[in-house]
Structure 1
């Protein structure tokens, strides 16, 4: 059985997908763009965009009764791999112990011209 999770604090899904789905004891969170759910505005710069994407993940985690410590895997998509160090510095502030597995790679483009998009899988 699956349960659809949606946080009013994170940006609404704008296509045929859910913010997150809980199934089989795991929470699968869709890629989060650096968009403020309240204003619909995108943060500027890689540090601010990384922070906003991770804050959005946090809103969804909390809505489902999880937190960052439950995250076991993330995928980070970067518009430029040259932003890796700056993204990583912000990311390290959210995952401080028992870090999740992660993959990070450069993509040709992200929706809305974003510099970063981050998804996650969490398990209690």
Structure 2
């Protein structure tokens, strides 16, 4: 998604803001993949955006998750625990009617910029 009308990651005032990441791998949306694989792809994209700003998951302090089906919440939690070490960042999770590109999950986050 090279011509998206937003910046995927921004550093400002000691903070890193990562725009919502979706299950996209090598330019392909993972609509036909199991939900756990979609979450893993989203979190891998978050890791990549953080790395662009010189940060890692350990720097994340707040996340927001958007789901199109709250029935996916238990799988999200399973993958979350496998990805984020304790103490995990603060998190909000909301159900939405739809996401861009017909995705089922999107994750945005805020991280502290390494000094």
CA apart distance, 1:87: 1.0
Find the counterpart in structure 1 of residue 71 from structure 2. 82
2: CA distance, partners of 1:96 / 1:13: 33
Partner of 1:8: none
The Cα of 1:111 is off from its aligned counterpart by 1.0
TM-score (norm 2): 0.91
The one of the two structures with greater contact order (alpha-carbon pairs below 8 A, sep at least 6) is 2
Correspondence 1:105-116 to 2 at 5 A: 105-116=94-105
Q: How many residues align?
A: 111
Aligned residue among 22, 25, 29 for 1:42: 29
TM-score w.r.t. the length of structure 1 is 0.85
Q: Deviation of residue 12 (structure 1)? A: 3.7
Unaligned runs of 5+ in 1: 1-10
Summarize the alignment of residues 1-124 of structure 1 with structure 2, pairs less than 5 Å apart: 11-12=1-2, 14=4, 16-36=5-25, 38=26, 40-43=27-30, 44-123=33-112, 124=114
Let me know the Cα RMSD of the aligned residues: 1.2
Q: Which runs of 4+ in 1 moved over 2 A?
A: none
Query: Cα deviations across residues 59-99 of structure 1 (Å, max 9, x unaligned)?
Result: 01111110000000000000101100001101111111111
Bigger fraction of residues in helix: 2
Instruction: Give unpaired runs (5+ residues) of structure 2.
Output: none
